[in-house]
Amino acid sequence: MAKAFPEGFLWGGATAANQLEGGFHEGNKGLNIADVLPGGKERLQVLRNPGFQFEIEEGKSYPNHEAIDFYHRYKEDIALFAEMGFKAFRLSIAWSRIFPNGDELEPNEEGLAFYDKVIDELLKYDIEPVVTISHYEMPLHLVKEYGGWRNREAITFFERYTEAIFTRYQGKVKYWMTFNEINSGLMMPIMGLGFAIKKEEDRYQPTFQAFHHQFVASAKAVKRCHEIMPEAQIGCMIIYAPFYVYDSNPENVMDALEKDERFNYFCTDVQVRGEYPAYIQRYFREHNIELEIEDGDLDIIKEGTVDYISFSYYMSKTEKKVDVNGGQADGNILLGGVKNPFLKASDWGWEIDPVGLRISLNRLYSRYQMPLFIVENGLGAYDKVEEDGSIQDDYRIDYLREHMKQMLEAVEDGVDLMGYTSWGCIDLVSASTGEMSKRYGFIYVDKHDDGSGTLERKRKKSFYWYKDTIAANGANL
């Protein structure tokens, strides 16, 4: 019997407001973190190094300001998603459209009305909106005046924001998730936690304190979501990369296990099980990290556990602590580690590992026995428009097909998989580099790294392939 995905599988695509909307000043929107991130390779340096000032500097380009202009073209784009047969579309709500500064008492009606239109347009085609509440786009005022998630007050502002969107979109949005790739704050606090490490400080104390505030905020949102919308489901969202051990040296195995726990499981252990795991408490003790936890916080975390786990999957990571041959860290450009000799990498140095997706699904499911939702996966690649106007992106089709085959295997293994929304279903601004040339879409957008282009949309070869795959519910893989 052919392997198949479950009935009602949520096929679709994923995006984030700051990476596609543009209209950065329209509808009374306030500035947010992404609005001050420069374009090009400089962005990764900014994100990695301490001391970023969150200012717009003259002479630099800010690609998220216009992005791909979804703000004005959402109808055309959603029609294309519908043509592919999407069952779900993951979008984020830009917090700074709803609360331009973040600390107002009342929401901005124009911002709310914009998402009414987008959500209604999706529902017109029976596409389920899957909403990320916070995707690397905290209002800039909260970052600059309050210190982002370092500050406990962020919990109150987030509560006000979630109350506004839950009450407004109840009955329309059934799938929610709180913080995009919450664990990415361990690597890049600027985007996820809304602050830059100061040059003179140790990064871990403020990072884990900020996580604590997000855990409380997320748990409160989960509780409130359930009260307002008993029919809705709300999940956590992590960046998941299975950690492999380079060799069988027990020192290396233990080292990889500890790193794996901290990176891949710490946040989900808190958000799914509702408590801080013992291994992280040991890590806090040994690194002099002392969290300020107020009375009642741990009860809130316990009561606000999520309904499903969503995650992004792009790569695995290979670890080697003790190297008898004196090797060095030369693995994935984003996550580090050492090169895995069995894998090839994308043009951006992200190691491509379809079997790693099956491993991820199995590891997550055996740890939590909770529904899983792949809400990001895809290949960032250079695309070429041929003379006849076509885009022959067979490399993208191959990448996606190989990953989907492994998803099917995982379903056979017994994993409860809710859906798959591939990242950047329409070309958009890269989060880590600000480039347009790092393209993920089934839909090509005529926009380039230097900001030029007509913004015209074109169907790539993968558009037709994905359409067939959705129609066959994966039976054609």
Active-site annotation, residues: 376
List beta partners, residue 443: 426, 459
Q: How far apart are alpha carbons 431 and 443 in whole angstroms?
A: 18
- Quote the least distance from Cβ 87 to ligand BG6, whole Å: 21
Of the pair 43, 213, the CB lying nearest ligand BG6 is at 43
Of the pair 5, 24, the CB lying nearest ligand BG6 is at 24
Q: Restricting to residues 290-349, name those near ligand BG6 by CB under 6 A.
A: 312
Cα distances from 245 to residues 187, 313, 318, in angstroms, run: 20, 19, 6
Q: Which of 432, 442, 445, 463 binds ligand BG6 (CB under 6 A)?
A: 432
- Quote the least distance from Cβ 177 to ligand BG6, whole Å: 11
Q: Which of 121, 137, 181, 351 binds ligand BG6 (CB under 6 A)?
A: 181
Of the pair 154, 436, the CB lying nearest ligand BG6 is at 436
Number of residues that bind ligand BG6 (CB under 6 A): 14
Q: Is 279 exposed, middle or buried (0-12, 13-18, 19+ CB in 10 A)?
A: middle
Of the pair 183, 207, the CB lying nearest ligand BG6 is at 183
The radius of gyration computed from the CA coordinates of the chain, to the nearest angstrom, equals 21
What is the number of other CB atoms lying within 10 angstroms of the CB of residue 311? 25
Of the pair 90, 150, the CB lying nearest ligand BG6 is at 90
Question: Binding of ligand BG6 at residue 431 (CB under 6 A)?
Answer: yes
Question: Binding of ligand BG6 at residue 134 (CB under 6 A)?
Answer: no
Of the pair 353, 376, the CB lying nearest ligand BG6 is at 376
Q: Which of 373, 423, 465, 466 binds ligand BG6 (CB under 6 A)?
A: 423
Of the pair 16, 196, the CB lying nearest ligand BG6 is at 16
Q: Which of 430, 445, 469, 474 binds ligand BG6 (CB under 6 A)?
A: 430
Q: Are 220 and 157 in contact (CB under 8 A)?
A: no
The CA-based angle 36-145-215, given to 5 degrees, is 90
List beta partners, residue 13: 89, 422
Of the pair 168, 439, the CB lying nearest ligand BG6 is at 439
- Quote the least distance from Cβ 103 to ligand BG6, whole Å: 25
Residue with the two structure tokens 């009305």: 113
Q: Restricting to residues 5-34, name those near ligand BG6 by CB under 6 A.
A: 16, 19
Distance of CA 229 to the CA centre of its chain: 24
Tokens in use for 218?
């997320």
- Quote the least distance from Cβ 453 to ligand BG6, whole Å: 18
Strand, coil or helix: 354: helix
Q: Which of 134, 178, 180, 421 binds ligand BG6 (CB under 6 A)?
A: 180
Q: Are 160 and 105 in contact (CB under 8 A)?
A: yes
Please state the φ and ψ torsions of residue 317, each to the nearest 5 degrees.
-140, 135
Q: How far apart are alpha carbons 99 and 161 in whole angstroms?
A: 7
Binding mask 370-409 for ligand BG6 (x = CB under 6 A): ------x---x-----------------------------
- Quote the least distance from Cβ 380 to ligand BG6, whole Å: 4
Q: How far apart are alpha carbons 425 and 78 in whole angstroms?
A: 11
Strand, coil or helix: 139: strand
Q: Restricting to residues 182-241, name those near ligand BG6 by CB under 6 A.
A: 239
- Quote the least distance from Cβ 170 to ligand BG6, whole Å: 26
H or E, element range at 124: helix 109-124
Tokens in use for 129?
């909106």
Please state the φ and ψ torsions of residue 71, each to the nearest 5 degrees.
-55, -40
Question: How far from each other are the two terminal CA atoms of the chain, in whole angstroms?
Answer: 14
Q: Restricting to residues 434-473, name those near ligand BG6 by CB under 6 A.
A: 438
Q: How far apart are alpha carbons 308 and 381 in whole angstroms?
A: 30
- Quote the least distance from Cβ 347 to ligand BG6, whole Å: 11
H or E, element range at 374: strand 372-376
- Quote the least distance from Cβ 325 to ligand BG6, whole Å: 32
Of 94-102, 113-121, 323-331, 426-434, which part binds ligand BG6 (CB under 6 A)?
A: 426-434
Of 107-115, 222-230, 254-262, 427-435, which part binds ligand BG6 (CB under 6 A)?
A: 427-435
List residues near ligand BG6 by CB under 6 A. Answer: 16, 19, 180-181, 239, 312, 376, 380, 423, 430-433, 438
